[in-house]
Structure 1
Amino acid sequence: MFAARSVLMFALLPLFAGCQLLPSQSADNKVSTAGMIRMQGILSGDSGKLYFSPCNEQRRYAVTDKGNTGILQEAASVVDKNGMAFADVRGNFVASKAQGSDGQADVFQLYRAERPSGACEDPNFKRLTIHAGGNGPKWSLNASGKGLVLERQGMEPFAVPYMEEQMPEGRFNLITDANDQHVELYVAPQRCVDPVNGSVQHLTAELRVNGQVQRGCAYFGAMRND
């Protein structure tokens, strides 16, 4: 892992230095991502540049971190032995004839970065509004337009309808009461790192079941465009 991470970092040293000089965006001048394309794919470094290849495609886009997402640093923290990382991003993808690429990816939002094993083949992603999960003990929650499914270590899966409550500053809650279970999921837009697999996600999550609290990370599925 250290060797693969080093390969990516050394391949991108000039770009990494440039990224450190970018000014951070304030809430007042943050660019709206409405109308931009969300895409999942594989990140890799080559000759001082970061490239993004959409899942199951041969196209390769040169990445520019227009949203100051820290995508280069996040990718370097989760690369596999081949120096590659999976990323779920939103931005503008522009075709070009630039040497070494099929275009440019101007990234404005990073939903998650993780090791690439199986991430492009996730069968649940397209029908989900949100996925959340944590550890100690392990739990996961998948929500869609049809309801939510809660799985907890040592317990049977729990499938029920739910209500969503919007809160200030991009926070929201999912709430349900069924089968003598009061379930709440509190979600906030804040960088979150899974301590087990190292994946970086754009939301923090707090699960409460009958008052018992567990914490974890979350990301939006394909059915949600926030």
Structure 2
Amino acid sequence: MRAARSLMFVALLPLFGGCQLLQSSPQAPSTAGLTRMQGELSMANGKLVFAPCQENRQYLVNDAGATSVLQEAATLAGTQHKVFADLRGRVPSATVSGNQAQLDVQQLYRLQRLGASCDNPDFQRLILRASGNTPDWSVNVTGKGMVIQRAGQPALALPYLEEQVGDGRFNLSSEANNQHVELWIAPQRCVDPTLPSVQSMSAELRVNGQVQRGCAYFGGARSD
């Protein structure tokens, strides 16, 4: 995790125009040899099996990163006996045999029982997704800005400033359009019972003093 303090402005959305500054961030932990993968987790012969999206191969899961993926999947699966998984891992070449291999899971981004899909066209350009409920809210963050959706409110499309605050925590903030917005992210297990899902980070959204809490995970455009 990046512990040093850094500031980074992202590009404004087209409707704002203007220029932005960009400062380099501290180097993130190496992900060399690790692959971000999405697909379905299920049990077969007492073992956890991962079937990636758009790939005709099954992987026997080895929890090399102590992610508790087996326990998390068993809790979420329910009567369906399967969950959607978003994870990062390594496939040792010595384990590959035909259409089976071993997957050493090192990082778990998200497990979800319903509503997730291999066919999300926005995933690769997404930097961060945060959401919560009672009332429902969500934030989609890309390189062009962040879009905030809240129940009963018009959508907010804003530029943002990112600040690293140590121990993997960071804050996205904006003062554009007379809005005071902060999105605080912390690297800790977070459960959303409405989906249900388990996500890798907790989130707290503050809009003009109103506070809402939820969960978050990195999209395909960020390699943390």
TM-score by length of 1: 0.81
Match of 2:202 in 1: 204
What fraction of aligned residue pairs are identical, expressed as a percent?
Answer: 53
Instruction: Report the alpha carbon displacement of residue 81 of structure 1 after superposing the two structures with TM.
Output: 4.2
SS of equivalent to 2:39: strand
- Given that 2:51 and 2:59 are in contact with CA atoms closer than 8 Å, whether structure 1 keeps it comes out as yes
Instruction: Tell me the C-alpha RMSD between the 2 structures.
Output: 1.6
Instruction: Report the alpha carbon displacement of residue 116 of structure 1 after superposing the two structures with TM.
Output: 5.0
**Alpha carbons of structure 1 residues 73 and 33: separation in structure 2 relative to 1, 3 Å:** farther
Distance, in Å, in 1 between the alignment partners of 2:220 and 2:204 is 21
The list of structure 1 runs, each at least 4 consecutive aligned residues, that deviate by more than 4 angstroms after superposition, is none
Distance, in Å, in 2 between the alignment partners of 1:113 and 1:141 is 19
TM-score by length of 2: 0.82
- Given that 2:42 and 2:49 are in contact with CA atoms closer than 8 Å, whether structure 1 keeps it comes out as yes
Match of 1:186 in 2: 184
Distance, in Å, in 2 between the alignment partners of 1:148 and 1:221 is 13
Distance, in Å, in 2 between the alignment partners of 1:156 and 1:77 is 36
CA shift digits 1:159-194 (9 cap, x unpaired): 111110011100000001122211100000000000
Out of 11, 31, 34, the residue aligned to residue 31 of structure 2 is: 34
Moved more, 52-61 or 210-219: 52-61
Instruction: Report the alpha carbon displacement of residue 48 of structure 1 after superposing the two structures with TM.
Output: 1.7
CA shift digits 1:134-167 (9 cap, x unpaired): 0111000000101000000011111111110011
SS of equivalent to 1:167: strand
Q: Which is helix-richer, 1 or 2?
A: 1
**Aligned partner of 1:115: which letter?**
R
Please list every run of 5 or more consecutive structure 1 residues that lacks an aligned counterpart in the other structure.
1-31
Please list every run of 5 or more consecutive structure 2 residues that lacks an aligned counterpart in the other structure.
1-28
Match of 1:121 in 2: 119
Match of 1:45 in 2: 43
Instruction: Report the alpha carbon displacement of residue 93 of structure 1 after superposing the two structures with TM.
Output: 1.8
- Given that 2:114 and 2:195 are in contact with CA atoms closer than 8 Å, whether structure 1 keeps it comes out as no
Instruction: Report the alpha carbon displacement of residue 57 of structure 1 after superposing the two structures with TM.
Output: 2.2
**Aligned partner of 2:54: which letter?**
N
